[in-house]
Every structure is written in C-alpha cells, then in structure tokens.
Structure 1
Amino acid sequence: MTTGRNGKRIIWLSLLAGALAACHEPGETRGVQAAAAVDTTALDFGEVPVGEWREKVVRLRNVGYVPFHALEALKLGDNPAYEVSFDGEARLMPGEEKVVRVRFHPLDEGGSEESLRVSTDANSGQAHTVTVRGQGAPLTVRLEPALLDFETLEVDSERVLRLTITNPVDLPLSVTVKGDAAKAFSADNITVPPQATYQLETKYFPRDLGEMRAQVEVRPCDTCTPTVAELTGRSVASAFVFDPAPVPFDQIPVHETTRSFTRAKNITWRPVTIQGLNTSDTAFTPLEAMTATQVQPGEVVRMPLEFAARFSGPNMGTLTVGYESDKPRQAQVTLDARGGRPTLAVAPLALDFGNLPAGGKLAKTIRITNAGTTGNLYFKGVKAEGSTAHFSVDAILRGKTPQPWKPGSAWPALETEDLPIAPGTDALDLTVYFEPQTSGAFEAKLVLVSDDLFNPERTILLTGTARDSGACVYTLKPQPVLDFGNLEPGRGAVLGFRFDNTGRSECAVKNIHVSNDAGGAFSMPGGKIVGGVVPYASAFSAMVAFRPPAVGDYQGELTLTVNDPANPTVTLPLHGASLASCLVAAPAFVDFGPIRYDCATRPRRTLVSNQCAAPVNVTDAHIGAGTSEQYQLVTPPTLPRTLAPGEGFELEFSYARDVLGQHYSPFFVKEQAEPHPLLIPLLAETNHEGLQLDRFIQGTDSQLDVLFVVSNTTTMKDFQTRLKTALPGWLERARQAGVDVRVGVTSTGLSTRSPACTNATAGGDAGRLVPADGHRARTASSTSATAAATVQANIDDVGLCHNLVQGLETMRQGLSSPLITSMDDPRTPLPNDGNQGFLRSTARLAVVVVADEDDHSGFEPESYVQFLQALKGTGMAHRSQMYALVPTDARCTTAGGPGTRFSAVAQATGGAVDSICLGDYGPFLDKLLQRAEGLQADFPLTATPNGLEEMSVRVGGTTIGTDKWTYDTRRNAVVFNADAVPVPGQTLEVRYRSVCASP
C-alpha cells in the first residue's frame, strides 16, 4: 500500500470514484470530474517606460466539483522582459483560485511577446497557454537643470557646470554629449547606476568663436529615445567689448591735444583683472593706469585717453588692454583721430548670389552710410565693370522712397544728384540684381562713388553662377481668373495666388508684379517680388489686393516670368466689381491667421445680413476658385432664402491646415437681383510644427474712438449715473495725456419696445448712435469744452425702458455697414441716422459695455471676438478691444448674474472686465487711455511661446536685437522699449516656437 500525500490522494480518488460509480450513472460521473480554467488567454501591458515594472495576474480557477492540483506556471520562451511568479504546487478545492503573477520590465523600446503555460492535474484543463505582450516606451529621466548655460567665455578657456541625473529605474543609464558643437562640450562617458542620483560635471572648452549648442543625452538602452539637457555657450576673442569703438577724437591742429574715452564691458561669466593699458602710438596716451583693477561680469569701466597731434592728417592707433582671467590675455580697440569727417561706409563689401537657374533673378541689398560724426556725405552714383550684362541695380532708396538717377545716365554708369547722407542712422539702400541669361560663372565689380575725402570709392565684388535646369512645369491658382466678386464702394479685400512647381525640374520665377492695376484698383500688398527659385514639389503664395477707387467693373492682370523658353511670360487675369449691395458680412473677411499644422484650429464665423429696407433673396453661397481646398463651410445655409430687413445668417468655416503655406479662397454669397456676388475672403497660413509668425501693423498714436454700449433696461439708473459722473474727469485726463478721444453712445436695445420707450427709436437703437434723430451731436471729441456734457446727455437719451439686453449684436450692427459707412440707415424712416464719421481708420477702438446683466444676442461670443479683431483689417487685430462693466460677483444686487458673455469677448480681445458695482468708474476708464497714449508698444501674441530662445522680432523687415524688446509673460505680449517703438505704418513680425492652445 502506497503511503504519503500522493499515495493518500490515489486511495482517496479511488474510493471517491468507487462511491460515485455506485451512486450515479457513468455520464453523471464525468460531470463531477476535476476541471481547471484560467480567466484570460492574453495579457497586454500596453506601453511601459523602459526600466519600469508593471504586474498583471492570471487567475487559475477550479470550476469542477472535485479538487485538483496546480502544478506549475512557466515561460515558454526566454524573453528577459517578463517574469512569472508562481508559489509552487497547490491543491485547489472546487470554487477556489490560484494567482499567477506576471511582471513586465521592458529593456528596450518597441513591442515584445512571451507565452506562459499553466499546468494542472485536473481531468479537464490540464494545460493553459497565455500570450503576454507589451510595448517598451521612452523613459523620461529627471535632469536638473534642463538647460546648462555656460554664458560667455574667452576662446581656449573652460568652465565646468554640474548636471544632476536621477535614475528612476533599476537599469543603468548611459550618458553622452551630442550636437553640432559637441566637440566644444565634454562630460565623462559615464553610466548612472540603477535608482541612483549622479552629479555630472560638464565642461565647455571652446576653440572657435561664436554661439554654440549641444546636448547631454541620457538613455537606458542604446536604441532608446534619450532624455536631453541642452548645453549652450558663447565664445569670444576677449573679455571686453568697447563702446564707442573705434574711439573717436576731435579734429585738432598740429601740436594741440584732445581727450576722449571708451567704456570697456566685461561680457564673460568670470571677473577679470586689468594689468595695464598700452597704445601703439605715443600720440595716444591713457590717462589712467588702471593697474590691478578688477572688473566683475557685466561691469563697465571708463577708460579716458588723450591724443596729441604730431602731424597734419588722419591718425590711427590701437589701445591694448592687458588683463588676467584664466591666464594673461589682451583686448584691443582702434583709436581714430581722423576728426570725424564724412566717411563712405558700405556693407557688405561682396555679394555672392550663389547658383541660380539660367533665367532666374535674385536681389541683394547694399547699405550705404556715413561713418563720420560731422557733416553730410554726398553719394554721387555707381559704375561697374565685368559681366555687367548679368547684373543690374534698382533705383536707390532712402527708406521706402526711390531716389532717381540722373537723366541720361545708364547702367553700368549711373549718376545721382549728390544725395546727402547724414551721420548716424541715415542710410541709402541699393538693390543689386543677378539675372543670368545663360549658364556659367559671372563676376563684376560695382564701384560706389561719393565725396569722401580719403576713400571716395568703395568696390563691391559681385559673383554668381548659373545652371541649365530645363523648362519649368507648374500650376498657377486660381484659374481661370482671380475673382474678387463684389465689394461695397470704399472697401478693400485681399486674396492671393499660389505657384506650384509640378515638374521634375526647378522653376526660376521672377518679375512678379501687377502689370495692369486697373487704375490703381489692384496691387500686391507686399510689393513686387523680384524672383526666386521654386524647387521641385514646392510652392509659394503671395497676396493680391483689390481696393476699387469708385463704383464700376475692374479688369486687371498679374504677370510673372518663368524659365520656359517657349512660354516665359505667365499672366493671371484679375477681376472685381464695386457696386452697392444689400448684403453685408461682419466681419468682412474670415482670417484664421498663421497656424501650426500640428495644432487644432478654431472655427471662424461671419454674419451675412440684409442691410436694406426691403427683403432680398439669397440664391447661392459657395467657396470659389482659390489657391487650395483647405476651407470648408461647416454650416451651409438652406437656399434660396429670403432675408427680411436686418435679418441674417451666420456662416462657420473650418480650415484643414494640412498643406504648408499661405492659402486664399473667395467665399461668394449671391443675391438674386445683384449682378455680382458678395465677396468674403478666406485667409490662413499653415506653418511648420512649432513655428508661429504673428504680423502686426503699427497704428497712429494717441487716437482713440470709444463706443459706449449702455444698457437701457429699467434697473440701470444708478449705474448710468455713475458713468455720467466719471466722464468729465476722464475726458480731462485724456486732454492732459494728449489722447484725441472721440466718443459715441448706443444702447443694448436691438428691437423696439413700444410704447414703454418714448425716444426716437422706441428703445431699439440697433447700433445707431444716440440720439438717432440728431437733435444733439451724436459724437463728441475730447478737444471740445462741451464734450462731457454732450456725452452725459446722450447717455440720458439711452433711457430706462427696455427689457432685453443684446449689447454684443448692437455693437456689431453699429460698427458694420451700412451704419458705419453711411450717413443714413436705409432700413429706417429716420433721416441721417447712420454712424458714418464716428470710426477713424487710424485710431484705436475701445467698446465699453455697461450692463447689469449678461448679453442675450444669441450668437457665440467667439463671433463677436472675430468681428472686433477683423474690424481694423489684417494685421490690426490688436487695435480693437472691448471693456466690460458688468456683474462679476455678489458685491451688490444686479438685474442678472455674472456677465460671462460680455466678459468673454472683453478678455479675448485684450480688454478688461470689472464689476458694474464699482463706486467710481474713473480708474476703469483710465485703462483705455493707458492703452491709447502714445504709440502702441505692446503687441499680444496669438499663441503661447515655448520659451524665448527661438523668438525673433522684425520691424520694417529688419531683425532687431533683444535689447530693444521684452516678452511679458502675464500679457503674452512683445513689449518694445521706449526708444524702439515702431513708427506708424511699420510692419512687425514676431517669429517663435509655440505650444498648441487647449481645444
């Protein structure tokens, strides 16, 4: 007889089997056999960072009526990323379960699989196979700091900074230095032990000059995605920069002396010690020895010098500053005793146009300045020699104004009428063209001629090569015509064209211009395009504007030249009409602005309405031929549709953003009786991932139009009184600040409420300035002595009789056509009740809402945000804001709860919100003056920058340094220094790497 546990199990099972056989039929015996089951046949761990652990379980259950033993759980493969935990053989009674633990520990990135077998001695379910899979994901390692900035140091010197690396997993981490300037940075190639913190010493030892960048890369495996810490540094030849440099001395007679000075600034990270000053010529004498003078980082020291003239004529020298930093070093600055007479300065001294396709055209600019300090330099002309047939020059420019060449002079010898150039910032710009007619290498010398006493001529070397590239194959959109549809007289619009290189060769495109402007109706806002190279499978776009000078039908033409000998000249017809229309879009265009292709877009809206006194029939609305298929009408209207006077429908558009570049499409709305459809331009620009380009145009300074939208409901008496009380002091402060304010008032009443309202409009001002019947001036200027009294009386005319606040819509109506463009509203019997003359195109606009309950206009607040931002035109969204005095909290009893709709529009347009329950409205109104006083210095960005390292600012096409502007994080705005604020009309561009906004 067998003994022990196994023997007992055999005897027991035998007895049990006999008992069952004696009591049941054979089929019933099988029903009570041991049966095992698992709760899953597959485990999926999903993504797990490399080195981290995740655990899941497989549950083995006894689903029969007799016990069995769980024998083992084993991996079938040898994948080290998985571990199986099984406590050993166990007996499971009916209904019991045993847990098999499986752990996933990825050792590299990517997918992996393993199989698991669970074995039992049950009659049914003796072996179960479970598939296990997981995905190794990138591991994020904590690096502090994320940026090691070694600042500025001298070439061939070193600095050591420490980087803390925290290893969160049980795998070792490898550390390497990579990047373009990796040779200038070094760190021990170390391994960070598992779950340890390591202090890594990183050294910057530059042997070249300039800005340098590299990265420390930390990863748990050779193929794993690294965690990166940025390394930056700047290498300079010496610790000091000098200002002024060269050091100027006055022009003096022989045997006399004069004094000057320079300021030496330590631009490195470490203090340095001056050992002494020496000059190359004994005519120059340092007035202070400065021996053993320590100069801290960023500190400036003044160095006075004397010059003793020993002979007549110019004299130059060098000041050498000996100093000690990591070792003895020297810094030098030129000493200039030429007397500051006019001096011809030219930059650059050579123009290399590179390699162009034959038939192409490229432009580069030379800047001509007066390097002297006293007196004008006179520019006289240019002359050239060499391959002059392939080079040419344009009219010389002073700012944007062309300066003509003398009549009769011709390239390659052109003369001017002695153009003066003053010392300082005055300059002339000369555009030089390279336009190769055949393939080959070409060189010419361009000589600039002036009245400089010592160097009257400067020679500029011009070089360029040309290659044969075959005929250009392209498409030009839109076709067959760039159609602007109909624009109301007095308005303008922008669309554009797109040139796509669809062939296998490059395209040389040049001389892109409006060849027929139809009497000035058509233009290119960015000016003519000289030319460029469009590589295979690439494209470019540009704007075309239509601004009809009078009522009529206009036909124009755009012309460009391509490298196709058979058909070199390409034309695109331009068409537009200007006729009065009953249909009005507010805003008049839909602008998505610059958008990253990886960021979601917000829908854009416009309201199309009938602004005539009779019904109209809208028969069609569609997107016309444009430069792409990027736009979609999200809310197509049901057509045909009859619009009663003042009735309209909102259109919502989406933008696909999947094609890089600028995109322009016309949206047309056709009214049955009008010969041409209303144009609503659709505008957008898709940029690369993370790149954002915001454009602005500086407006006129110290001009402000203010539209007060005052609620005329029955509970507004106290709040209207507070507004009237604040006006005299506020207008006086505007006069003292030199801000020219123009004020108009309308109500929040959109529809009439007879007979409760007894004024001329029965409470339904619908955006008309009060008093609509004109019995008093409807606008007031801060320059008038009676301005405060006029505005106060107009607020009284608003009344206290209405019951419905629709201030957002009355604002839109009041600032839209036909009210804002007409002296009379054609929809009403009152004469001369239009708002024409209130809105000045050059002034900033502030809409001030005063209401003790929220708006009920119906359309989404975003519609009104987009309307205000588009009101001043493209690039001018920053010129219009809403300000709201509305309920914000429970400080006092108001007719309604918080004014969230008014507040949303105010905040989105960069205005301000405060409680209508303020005791004094004066400080709130002063915010309007603060924004309008002087030229605008702050320009809000459309997206949030991802740091400032890649932010650049251009004004008038020229990049300006970070010493001229700052970034205000709180306002998300670029703010110019007082001495760098752009002048009216200048274009600003801010380029930065952005983060996507929340949906």
Structure 2
Amino acid sequence: MKRLFVPYLLPALMLFAGCGGSAVGGDGGVITCVNDADCAVGQSCIQGVCTTLDGGSGCSSDEDCPAGQSCIQGVCVLKEAADGGETGDGGDGADGLPAVPDISIEPEAIDFGAAPVGTAVEQKLVVANEGGAELTLFSVTLEQGSSTEFGVVPSGNLGRMLGPGETFELLVTYTPTDGVADSGALLVSSDDPDEALVRVPLSSSYKGSSEITATADPAALGPDLAVLDFGSVSVGQRASRELFVKNTGRGSAMLAVQQVRVDPEGSLDFTVQSVLPDLPAWLSPYMGTCTSDSDCPQDYTCLSGACTDSSGGVYDQVKVTVGFTPQRAGEIVEALVVVNDEDDAAGDGLEQPLRIVLRGEGTQPAIAFEPARVDFGRIFAGQSASAELLISNPGSELLAIQSIDLQDRAVFGVDTTGTAFNLAPGEQTQVVLSYTPTQPGIDGTVLVVASNAPGSPHEVQLTAEAVAPPVIAVSPESIDFGQVQLTQLASASLVVTNTGPNPLEITSISMESSSSPSFSVLQGALPPIDGGGQGRIDVVFAPQDAGVHQGTVEIRSNDPALPLLTVSLAGTGVDPELAVAPASIDFGDIYVGYRAGPVVLTVSNQGSGTLDVLAIGTGTGTEADFQIQALPVLPASLSPGQSVSCEVYFTPLGTGPRAGSIQIVSSDVDNPLLEVPLSGNGTNCPAGWWDADGDPSNGCEYRCDLTNGGVEDCDGVDNDCDQQTDEDL
C-alpha cells in the first residue's frame, strides 16, 4: 500500500529520522477529501487527506519537474502519487528488478471519537512490510502542530528491521484534557523507496450539546439541586454538604467546569472546601449508575451506584464540598457559582454560570432576664420579701444553665443555687429571689448566671432598702352594738393609729368569712398613714334577723409584726312590738258633768328585745272632756312581756258626742306612734230622772215625773221635780 512520496526529499528525511527528529508536516488538522475541491487553499487531496505540501521544487507547472513527476501545489511529485495510485511494480523484484521493501500501515487514519477527559484511549497501528526486501523503520513521531493529547508507543528513533511479511504494532493513545476536538498526524519514516514518509491522520470528535446538572446524589440524574440547605448549625461550628456536577447533555459533547466559588466572594459563612478533580475539568455525558466494579474504569470502585476513586472523587463528575460556618445567628443565604460552558441541551436556559442557593441558619443560645434589674424596693427590717426573675432562651439553640449564685448571701437568697438545667429555644423558667434584712439600710448584690450563651457569665443587679417598720394600733379593740332593731342600722368607728416611724399601709379591710352578714365595713383600704397619724374605719351593724350576731373585722397592713389585726364585733338583732289594750275606749252616754272612768289602758311589749315607751298623751284635737291619769314614769323600757298602764276618764262638759285619742310614742320602728281612739256622749238626765242636788258626781239621782206642766201646785206633789213639794205656796 502506497502513501505520499516525495523522492527528492527521501535522503533528507532518512537523515532526519536517523537523528531522532520529526519531520515537518501539515497544520495539525485532518480533513478527509475526495478531490482537491474538498480542501482549503494551499492543500491538495492526497490519498483521501487534505495535505499541505511544504518545501518542494518551487515548480509552477509540470514542465518545471523531472520526467515522471507533476507539479502539485508548487511541489514536484511522482505522477502516480499525485494520482493516488502506486509507484513501481509492487516492490517484489518482478520483471527482473531488484526486490525492494514496501511499507503498509493499517488503519490509514485513526479517529478516537469522543473520549472521556482524563482517560487514555488506545488504538493499535500495524506496520507491515509487504515488499520483497527487508524494511527499516527509522522513526515514528507526531507531526508538528499535532495535539499533545495524542501519543504513540514506541516513538522516536526505532531502527526496527522488518523482513518481508513481518509486522510491527504501534500503540497510539489519546488522553483528552478538555472537551475540544483535537487533530494531528503520525509520521512514520522508513527506507521504502517510494514511501519514505507515511502520514497517518489522527483526530477526535465531540458531537451534540452539553447540559450542566447538579445533584445531591452522584448516582442520580436528578432532581436538579436548586438549593443546598444546611439546616441549623451552631454559630462558629462547621457543617459540610456535597453536590455533584454532571454533564447530562446529548451526544458526546463535553462540559467544561472552569470554576466553583461562593457569591459573595470572601464569605466567612459559606466556603468551598474542596473540588474534585482540580479545575478546569471536562465532563463527558453522564453514562448512568454502576452496579459493580467492572462497570468502572481502572482505579475506581462502584460505591452506591457511582464510580469512586480512593480520594472520594467520582468518575466524570465534579464533586464539590461546601462548608457552612455561620458567623452570626439567623438565616444566611448566599450562592454557589459554577462557571461552565454548557450548550443548554435541556432547553432550560443557558446556565453560564450555574447558581445554586446556599441556605443555612446560624443557631446559638441566648439568655434574657425579666426584669433586667431586680429592685425589692423598701422592705421593713425583720421582714422577708421575695421577687421573681424570669430567665428565658430567645436564641435558636439549647441554653445550658450551668450555675446560678449570689455574690453576697448575707441578706439575699436564691432558690436554685448550684442547679444546672437546660432551656430549649423559646422556653423560660422562674427563679425566686428573697431579701430578709435585719436592720435598716441600703443593700445590693449580684446574681451570677453561668451558661453556654455568648457573654457568659451574665449578671443581674439586685437592690433593696431596709427601713424601720410601722406599728399599727386600733381603738377600740372590740365593738358591741347592743340591741338594734331589724331593718335598722347602727354604726361605729375604729381609729387606726401608726405608732411607728414609716408610713403604715392598710392594704385590706374586710369581714372575716365566718362573720354575720349583718356586719359590714365601709372602707376596703386606707391611704398610707404617716408615722403618728391616724385613719378611720366605719363599721355598720344592720341585723336582718333577730338574735345575737358576731363578726370580726380583719385589717391587713404592712406592719411586719402584726400584718393581720382583728377587731371583734357583737350585736343583737331585736324586733320589739308595741301592743295596747283596749284598742279603743268608748264611754257611751254620760250625764254632762259626770266623770266616767277610769278605763285602764295597758301598754305592753309583745315582741323581742327591749321596747322603749317614750310618751303617752292625748292626741291633737282631743276634747277636754277626756283626761289621762296615773301615767307611768316615762320613758319606760319594757322587756318582752312587760307592760305599763294609765287611767282614762270622760267628763262631758256639755251634751253631745265627744271624741279624741291617746297617742303612744315608742321605739317600735314598725309602729312608732300608736293611737287609741276615745269617744263618749254628753247627755242630760233621762226622762223621769233629775239631778236634784246639782252634784254631777252622783248623776241624776232623783226619780220624778213632771206634772201640772212642771208648775208647782199645792197638791202635795213635786210638780216641777226639784225634790221639793208645794214650795213657795
């Protein structure tokens, strides 16, 4: 098999090959052709490959070349080589010619296609001697301008002898370092008289379009990782997350990943901890998961569906480890920027660069006190006071309280000394503080709380003032209301005196719960009473039922020696009832001037409790014909069942009806003024009766009937009924 042969260059090529150099070849590109029209200007189609012919004889036409040669692109070449045919008769010594070597190389060109970046791909190139004489291989080199990603073993000066029919294998390698198509050529020099230098084109090709995809799982195609969430991380601590960048494009197009960084640059919160492999990196299209080590390249093992090397790198993926070290509490959002050259095979928009949201929350405990400063205020010496301190965790992490103690415990106290406990975010607890001063003065100390919160230990100021206490005194010490009629009320006052130096605060005045509801106090509290001052409490007794009532007034104050003072109350509910007998007095017909009576009027108490009879007398409008005599000493207090009486007389002063009343005034609230009606009729002597002696006291004592018209006649009869007979006759 013949190749391009430039006979007048053969000695120079043989000499050059023998020195271990490389021949000057084309421009490093390989373009296949059918004829010269398929090639660029300055190239010719030689044996299917567009070739630039250097050196040459400087011909401009065939006339400028020796016999049997043609001028091709300014170079004289054998006509058979220019025509793509063979020169000579096969090199086997036929027709009486001496035997010559004849080089043959298979394949004539090598296209490595789309090889994974960083992976060496190999193809064999077989050199054979098809001639009748021994073939000497001088050298094998890469054409100048060929990509350095191509290689051949062995290379350089060979000095290898091949007898007729013998072969020699060359191992051609391609180790792409990027996703760009490469080209070059291999130059094989020998002592073949008509093919001293054979050029074997080398090429690679990448077709389709790339697409960048980032996932959390190296063995998965998706879902696309839009957010890398670190969750909650303690401030100052570091958490790491991994993501894997793949080429999920079409065909054999490579994806170049040039840079991975955090935006904003120089962030102290998010950092790129590591990137495997080193960048830039070229990624072949993702080939799917592995099931065993046999699915992986050499030095890789199948772990969880991904081919992984000993350093943790994943085959044909960029493994990015991002660290999150929050410098503050709260949500922190930044971005991971992956600079790449994707072609947008997925049609989801050109992701140059790819941005992935980085999100995390910095957490740390915090401690808060309510109130921030505890003031017990003014407390009386000898008295104990307490205050509540609320400790809470407004942070986002568990708060560990390690100890709580006081710098000075002489008069202050705390109920959780030495206690360790935890507060979850948002939780709170209550600490009870106490102050027990023994003498007047201003006191203070510091509560020290040790915890895992920033700034620990924390301090809370405690202040207080101890003062001399007030002293309460109440007068009288008890109240007896005595008898009080039902529906009536009686009142009394208690005088409260502060015999101490500082204000006395009467905080509560009330009736003890077992007290009779007939007792009440009008004040619920009193204004502060300065030292030596007084206040008044009004107490009321309004019995609702008869009988003895008892109660207790409770007076609460800030006197530490007597915070509760009591005053006993007593009273009797009574219901006296005034009764009179008779209820009315009618004297009937009484001779004018005659004194009728006495009629005894009895006044009595028919109720409960004492009845006071205050007055007995005639009522307004009572005629003088009626008289009251034998009155009792008034006022008179009548116990239940007791009575007093008086006498009533009627002496008509003239004829005709007479009327009046007796009025009785008493303490019976239901009937405070009772009237007894009086009546009588003044009359002359009845027919046949005469007051002959003119003494009304004995009435009409003389029985006589008028005769002779009431004119005395001398007939021995008292004609005029004057108790004299025939007088003056």
Q: TM-score range by the shorter chain?
A: under 0.3
**TM-score under structure 2 normalisation?**
0.23
